[in-house]
Structure 1
Amino acid sequence: METASISEKEIVLVILYTSFFFMILAVVLIVFFYFSRKKIIQKEIEKKNSEIAHQKELLKAMIETQETERKRIAQDLHDDISSKLNVVALNAHLLTTPNLSLKELEEIKSNVITLTGKALENSRKIAHDLLPPVLEKFGLDAGVEELCMEFSSAKGVQVVYNNEVTFDEAETRRHLHVFRILQELLNNSIRHGKATNMTVSFVQQGHYTKCLYTDNGVGFDETNEAHQKGLGLKNIESRISFLKGSLSFQSEVNQGVQVEFVF
């Protein structure tokens, strides 16, 4: 009976120790999963905060780009249009001067015609910068083709353009961002990259369009954030964000630039 009693006590102790072990194991697992989950949530929060910060940077870049364009347009209107129209108004007022000779009348008339023509020419230029007429009338393909031809007209510069995509002409406002991106890239290639050969290609990828851009310029160090900022990459990224697309750069010093963006 005593042996049986000891055996039962041992069984009870084993059960107690086992239960205690599993309780501790359960607590350890709960604590482990709690802190693991907390760490995962913390990483998700950091990721979201990083995305929000990046979106804020892109929005800031977009606003700065718009403000720069507005200032440039205001400056052009003031310097080129307003000043010329003021002189036209002054010449028109001179016509009321009594006893003007025929020569003086002809001179005033010539000044008015010349200045009015220049004001109209400059106003067309400003309108062209806001929304190129070819892009508005004939779509992105014609707009980019004309853009490439304009850059190719510069001495020692060649831009090759290839397009395999049929663009929706109703998407002019969105396509204006694509046009501005390529305009920025071409300007960067010549101004900063000292490139002489550039290529622009559009290809269809399912419901998306991919644009491939290359140049043979001096390239740049991708890790240099200040250099990227100076090249206006934030402005390009902000436009890509508006298009709900993606952007990738590949460049090395003295190896040119290769850019791919999908929209």
Structure 2
Amino acid sequence: MEEIFSNEDKVIITTLIGVLMLLLMGVALLVFFFLSRRKITEKELEKKTLEIGYQKEIIQSIIVTQEKERKRIAQDLHDDISSKLNVINLNANLLKDGELTAEEFITVNDGILTATDKTLESARRIAHNLLPPILDKFGFKEAVEELVDTFNNSRKIDINYNLKYPKKHLNSSQELHLFRIIQELINNSIRHGNATKSTLVIEEKNKSLFLNYSDNGIGFNLKELEFKKGLGMKNIESRVSILNGIFTIETDINSGFAIKITI
């Protein structure tokens, strides 16, 4: 009996140990699951925080860009339009007074006509900067071709381009954003990159639009964020974000610049 009882005790003890081991394993799994879940949640929160921070930067960049545009337009209106209208106003008052010789009358009248022509030219230029007429009348592809040809004719840079843009692939507002991106890229190549040659390719594949741009300029260090901002990259970044696009940059000091944008 003692031997049987002893065996039963051993079975009970073994069973209890097994149950305890299972419980410990269960608790360990629960703790592991809890800690893993907590870590995943923290990572998700961190990711969300970064996304929110990124969105705030983009919004701030858009606001700054809009304010710069407003200031530029206000400056153009003040310098080009207001000053010329003041000249017209002064000359018109001279005519109104009527105390002019025939020769003076002709001189003042010619001055009014000249100032009027210059005012109209300035108004057209300001309007062109706000919305290029060719973009509105003929479309995105033609507007980009005119832009590139203008730069090529200036001989500041030689741009080789290949535009395979399906008409109306983007709406008019999106086309304007993409046009401004190209404009900014070329300006950056000339002003900051000291580039003499660049390449622009636009094509559509599988309903996505691809823009590849590169130049032979001095490039820059991607880690220097303040340098990127100085090159207007924040402006480009904000416009790409508005277009729900993504971009990658390849550049280094004395190694040129290249950007790939996918929309």
User: Could you say which TM-score interval applies, normalised by the shorter chain?
Assistant: over 0.9
Q: For residue 23 of structure 1, what is the aligned residue in structure 2? A: 23
Q: For residue 233 of structure 1, what is the aligned residue in structure 2? A: 233
Q: Distance in 2 between matches of 1:67 and 1:179?
A: 19
TM-score, normalisation: structure 2: 0.97
| Misfit runs of 4+, over 4 Å | none
Q: Is the 8 A contact 2:221 2:252 kept in 1?
A: yes
Q: For residue 218 of structure 2, what is the aligned residue in structure 1? A: 218
Cα distance, 1:156 vs structure 2 = 4.9
Q: Distance in 2 between matches of 1:169 and 1:208?
A: 9
Pair 1:137–1:218, CA change in 2 (3 A): same
Q: Give structure 1 stretches of 5+ with no counterpart.
A: none
Q: For residue 65 of structure 2, what is the aligned residue in structure 1? A: 65
Per the alignment, in what secondary structure is the counterpart of residue 194 of structure 1?
Answer: coil
Q: Is the 8 A contact 2:156 2:190 kept in 1?
A: no
Cα distance, 1:169 vs structure 2 = 7.4
Q: How many residues align?
A: 263
Q: For residue 158 of structure 2, what is the aligned residue in structure 1? A: 158
Question: What one-letter code is carried by the residue in structure 2 that aligns with 1:130?
Answer: L
Per the alignment, in what secondary structure is the counterpart of residue 249 of structure 1?
Answer: strand
Q: Distance in 2 between matches of 1:46 and 1:102?
A: 80
Per the alignment, in what secondary structure is the counterpart of residue 96 of structure 2?
Answer: coil
- Tell me, yes or no, if structure 1 residue 115 matches structure 2 residue 111: no
Residue deviations 1:33-57 (CA, integer Å, cap 9, x gap): 1011100110011011101111110
Per the alignment, in what secondary structure is the counterpart of residue 244 of structure 1?
Answer: coil
Cα distance, 1:22 vs structure 2 = 1.1
Q: For residue 188 of structure 2, what is the aligned residue in structure 1? A: 188
Q: Distance in 1 between matches of 2:80 and 2:193?
A: 31
Cα distance, 1:79 vs structure 2 = 1.2
Question: What one-letter code is carried by the residue in structure 2 that aligns with 1:53?
Answer: G
- Tell me, yes or no, if structure 1 residue 128 matches structure 2 residue 125: no
Q: For residue 248 of structure 1, what is the aligned residue in structure 2? A: 248
Q: For residue 87 of structure 2, what is the aligned residue in structure 1? A: 87
Q: Give structure 2 stretches of 5+ with no counterpart.
A: none
| Counterpart mapping for 1:42-61 below 5 A | 42-61=42-61
Q: For residue 6 of structure 1, what is the aligned residue in structure 2? A: 6
